[in-house]
Amino acid sequence: MRHKVEITARAASELKEAYLWIRKDSPARAASWRKRLLAAVKTLAVFPERCGLAPESSSVEGEIRQLVFGWYRILYEIRGREVRVLHIRHAARNYLPPEELGFEQGED
């Protein structure tokens, strides 16, 4: 059964920021990177549980998972039949504190 994949406004903003950073060096590489990253995100529609827990998951009650894409971590939560992409972060950046995760704690 497929999940609906939603990219939050915060994650979309982080995606745009990363794209613009890469584009400064190479517009073609930036476009290709964004296309491949979005294709990777779409794969979360099928068996999103395949990805491991993100380190940030230890600071919240529920689960935050991560899909690693090159040097980026795609942080997401699964809520019923929906996958919510919370953040798209470069792997060199510090882990997020709980108050910045945008994670909805509690039951479905």
SS3 content of the chain, % helix, strand, coil (to 5): 45, 25, 30
Q: pLDDT tens across 42-61, in order? A: 999 999 999 999 988 877 77
Model confidence at 74: pLDDT above 50: yes
> What residues contact 87, with CB distance under 8 A and at least 6 apart?
10, 11, 14, 73, 74, 75, 96, 101, 102
- Go through the domains of the chain in sequence order and give each one's CATH number: 4-94 (3.30.2310.20)
User: Tell me, what's the pLDDT at 103?
Assistant: 54
Model confidence at 99: pLDDT above 50: yes
User: Both tokens of residue 79?
Assistant: 């809520």
Of how many residues is the chain composed?
108
User: Tell me, what's the pLDDT at 108?
Assistant: 39
- As a whole number, mean pLDDT of residues 78-98 equals 81
pTM of the model: 0.84
CB atoms inside a 10 Å sphere around CB 85: 21
User: Tell me, what's the pLDDT at 60?
Assistant: 76
